[in-house]
Structure 1
Amino acid sequence: MVAVNRVFAAQLAGLPVFGPDGESIGKARDIVIGLRIDRQPPRVLGMVVELATRQRIFVPMLRVNSIEPNAVTLATGSVNLRRFHQRANEVLVVGQLLDARVALDSGSPAVLVDAAMEPTRTRDWRVVKVAVRERTGRLARRGPLQVLRWEEISGVSVSELAGQPQGAQQLLAVFETMRAADVATTMHDLPVKRRYEVADAMDDERLADVIEELPEEDQKDLLAYLDDERAADILEAMDPDDAADLLAELSEFDKDRLLGLMEPEESEPVKRLLEYNFDTAGGLMTPEPVVLAPDATVAEALARVRNPDLTPALASMVFVCRAPTATPTGRYLGCVHIQRLLREPPFDLVAGVLDTDLARLSPTASLGEVTRYFAAYNLVCAPVVDDADHLLGAVTVDDVLDHLLPNNWRETGLSHA
């Protein structure tokens, strides 16, 4: 592979990073630059690299051996594995510079779409080119794309970036290829002002997915920032168990206010979950597992678990109940594992392949009991059934792990858990 001499930030974000011996290190997420007082090109200080544990570290540019079209390779030498913390004079190119409002030498306002860095003879890298679009009235983002020298724009300084309103369309374009958990890590590292701008620009479904992956304090902060109507919409778009966990951390006044703004069919399952302690099966469960009537076919069951919105854990098992099939259901009859479904004729009924012997979890079962249940049965999903044989929901192993890990695991990374 041939190293390139000019690298655009938006193309670098997401590239795999390898060590000198070809070992996988993580992914490049951003470029850290130090802005100058004059209009000379800023020096590239290093890269933000996300490890497999989701922790982000700083890699100085002197440790970068080559940047190729499809990978970044590090040179031999040690790298500090402490979590990256942005300093006051540093700017994140992807996180903060994209979408910035700048002025061209002609005096025309423009939006910065991308920035390119190039190596110098001294092995330093500098941001020498920028891609911009002129802002002309209501057609601000539809002007022709221009690639200019850094010196041909103004209005980019730490104070100006902190003070000016800024869009987020270019940053959201970078986010499109990232999982919600990775976007959450990026947002956690952004300055508060920029985090709010990104939240404003995201659609409700995407923002709900991202909020579910944020640390608890960031979740509460974003929910408090949003106006009440949008906060209620976000809670409706979240998984009910995640929404219940978040609401449980709020004051009674705020919790009741937001529940009152939610649509009744969306708030009811959340209210049911809030009746249980957070560290019980009832508090851990999701009220939306895959539930079928006994006359459903194996083909119907397989079609249901193919739903891309289901997590792998929830898709691993279907539950069979008498009507109604919405939780709390009619009488719980049993479950069918996906491996069993794959071995059966598609037009057979699920009632004929039920596992009726699998133990059930009570909604009041403690976190310790739930953990031992998963360890004993080697499962990733388990039914939660009340004393009257109604299926209330299902607990998945990822929810159990979320409660077993330290409260700050999303911030520190699994390597420090």
Structure 2
Amino acid sequence: MTESPDQSPTPGASALSAQPARRLSLSALLRRAVLGAHGQQLGRPDDVIVRLRGQDYPLVTGLVADIGGRRVFLPAESIVDWHTGTIRLSTAKVDLRTFERRPGEVLLSADILGHRLIDIPQARLVRAYDLCLTETPAGWVLTDVDTRPTTWWHRAWQRLTGTAPGAASAVRDWKAFEALIGHEPSALLRSPTARLRRLKPQQIADLLEEASREEQGDLLRQVHTDPELEAGVFEELDDDPQARLLRNRSDEEVAGVLARMHADDAADAVMDLPQERRQAVLNLLPAGQRVKVTTLLSYQHNTAGGLMSLDYLALPAGTPAAEALARVRHAHGLQSEALTTVYAVDDHGRLRGAAGLVALVQADPATALAEVCEHDPVRVNPPADLLTVALLMSDYNLLALPVVDDGDRILGVVTVDDALEATVPDNWRHREPEPHPEPSD
């Protein structure tokens, strides 16, 4: 990417003004000389500083320049010429104190150029090969990112002819990306509406598994600001990366995440902790969650008992269909996958039937649950192995399979998502997904 003073703005810049705006390539800008007010050469730019502004484009606040071997700060308001081949200052005097970054400041070259960003629409990591700055009435702002490397001859041709990147370049609006900023004080000052939160927990988990250790640190700092999102992300991580990331946290921090996870996922996470830490983490869980997790830990891992969730809805057989639906509607604390089926039980809590959600919706509101149910539903005992669970759910087209004790009382349910996760080979989960089409404006 090179500067293109006369070219119309890219989609990012066009949102700023209906008139053509002057634009600069960061890579071209960093090759220029810094001149004083009288044209004397003072040094060269080392980096461009922007300040994060929530949903607005980041505003350029100045340069870091190499002046006489010192890295010094040049405020944006002292620069009178950015775009004619040099960077000209309004004064010959420069504050020679060594530059020190402040919270909220991002260095475009050090933090973004050549680093990976999160492509939010595509939910993948991409590399920033160049950045575009656009002039606005408020000052220069970061508007676009080029995510496609160009060959040396293409870059040379651009410099020789002064042309901007052609249609083949992947130049896209900055707002489509989330930067992974290694500078923690700046990363923590992101807007609470950070673009990362547009992604599903499964997508963020996939990004974490692909990210480097430094990138993981920034991703985790972002999701940590939303405890429910953080718990959802940890639920979706594969066992090995989940265990590795949890081991790096204190017992209190681990318990904080596990307290918000579904009990079956939390139990799996506890088992992946070093043995000497398990009891300490369990002791820090809220009482209700601790009882659930401890109960699940008493079952073998790849059995119905080990796979089941303790979230289910069982009602007396005489409950009207309308009331059963109301109970589903208000069961916000239960795992949604387990609410696809409502179970009918007798006065002793024994399983007597299973009613799918569609059957309940279609039934007369006054009809008793027992009349809507499928009688003598398929069920298993806790020792049933994974193959038995998977075959039964497949043969009977079940979204949830009840797990009962010897007295036919429900202990929990195995949901189809957990059965699939346990049966799908690990290497199948990491196949390259089909690219998502860009949404049209």
TM-score (ref. length: structure 2):
0.59
CA offset digits 1:270-289 (Å, max 9, x no partner): 11111112211111110111
Structure 1 equivalent of residue 164 of structure 2? 121
CA offset digits 1:310-341 (Å, max 9, x no partner): 666323211123578xxxxx322221111221
Structure 1 equivalent of residue 256 of structure 2? 233
Q: 2:246 aligns with which of 207, 223, 228?
A: 223
Contact 2:12/2:172, CA 8 A, preserved across alignment: no
Give 1:255 shift: 1.5
Structure 1 equivalent of residue 77 of structure 2? none
Question: Is the aligned partner of 1:5 residue 2:29?
Answer: no
Aligned positions of 1:20-99 closer than 5 A:
38-39=46-47, 56=124
CA offset digits 1:395-417 (Å, max 9, x no partner): 111111111122355444578xx
Q: What is the distance in 1 between the residues matched to 2:174 and 2:312?
A: 51
Give 1:127 shift: 9.3
Are the structure 2 counterparts of residues 209 and 288 from structure 1 closer, same or farther at C-alpha, using a change threshold of 3 Å? same
Are the structure 2 counterparts of residues 362 and 163 from structure 1 closer, same or farther at C-alpha, using a change threshold of 3 Å? same
Q: What is the distance in 1 between the residues matched to 2:391 and 2:173?
A: 58
Give 1:118 shift: 6.8
Does 117-126 or 43-52 show the bigger shift? Answer: 43-52
Are the structure 2 counterparts of residues 356 and 292 from structure 1 closer, same or farther at C-alpha, using a change threshold of 3 Å? same
Question: Is the aligned partner of 1:271 residue 2:294?
Answer: yes
Are the structure 2 counterparts of residues 323 and 255 from structure 1 closer, same or farther at C-alpha, using a change threshold of 3 Å? farther
Aligned positions of 1:193-272 closer than 5 A:
193-200=214-221, 201-272=224-295
The residue type equivalent to 1:225 in the other structure is: N
> How large is the RMSD of aligned CA atoms in angstroms?
3.9
Q: 1:313 aligns with which of 337, 345, 368?
A: 337
Question: Structure 1: which 5+ residue stretches go unaligned?
Answer: 9-32, 59-85, 94-113, 131-155, 325-329
Q: What is the distance in 2 between the residues matched to 1:235 and 1:323?
A: 34
Are the structure 2 counterparts of residues 7 and 311 from structure 1 closer, same or farther at C-alpha, using a change threshold of 3 Å? farther
Give 1:57 shift: 7.2
Q: What is the distance in 1 between the residues matched to 2:266 and 2:130?
A: 31
Contact 2:267/2:294, CA 8 A, preserved across alignment: yes
Contact 1:44/1:126, CA 8 A, preserved across alignment: no
Are the structure 2 counterparts of residues 236 and 92 from structure 1 closer, same or farther at C-alpha, using a change threshold of 3 Å? farther
Structure 2 equivalent of residue 183 of structure 1? 204
Contact 1:168/1:197, CA 8 A, preserved across alignment: no
Question: Is the aligned partner of 1:348 residue 2:391?
Answer: no
Contact 1:386/1:392, CA 8 A, preserved across alignment: yes
CA offset digits 1:174-200 (Å, max 9, x no partner): 133222112222333444344334434
Structure 1 equivalent of residue 59 of structure 2? none
Structure 2 equivalent of residue 336 of structure 1? 355
The residue type equivalent to 1:188 in the other structure is: E
Contact 2:206/2:237, CA 8 A, preserved across alignment: yes
Structure 2 equivalent of residue 383 of structure 1? 402
Contact 2:12/2:174, CA 8 A, preserved across alignment: no
The residue type equivalent to 1:318 in the other structure is: V
Q: What is the distance in 2 between the residues matched to 1:376 and 1:126?
A: 50
Structure 1 equivalent of residue 83 of structure 2? none
Are the structure 2 counterparts of residues 259 and 121 from structure 1 closer, same or farther at C-alpha, using a change threshold of 3 Å? same
Are the structure 2 counterparts of residues 4 and 319 from structure 1 closer, same or farther at C-alpha, using a change threshold of 3 Å? farther
Structure 2 equivalent of residue 404 of structure 1? 423
CA offset digits 1:16-54 (Å, max 9, x no partner): xxxxxxxxxxxxxxxxx98978437867899866899x7
Contact 2:227/2:257, CA 8 A, preserved across alignment: yes
Contact 1:115/1:127, CA 8 A, preserved across alignment: no
Contact 2:120/2:199, CA 8 A, preserved across alignment: no
Q: What is the distance in 2 between the residues matched to 1:128 and 1:316?
A: 41
SS at match of 1:187: helix
Question: Is the aligned partner of 1:372 residue 2:391?
Answer: yes
SS at match of 2:402: strand
Structure 2 equivalent of residue 192 of structure 1? 213
Are the structure 2 counterparts of residues 402 and 355 from structure 1 closer, same or farther at C-alpha, using a change threshold of 3 Å? same
Give 1:351 shift: 2.8
Aligned residues: 304
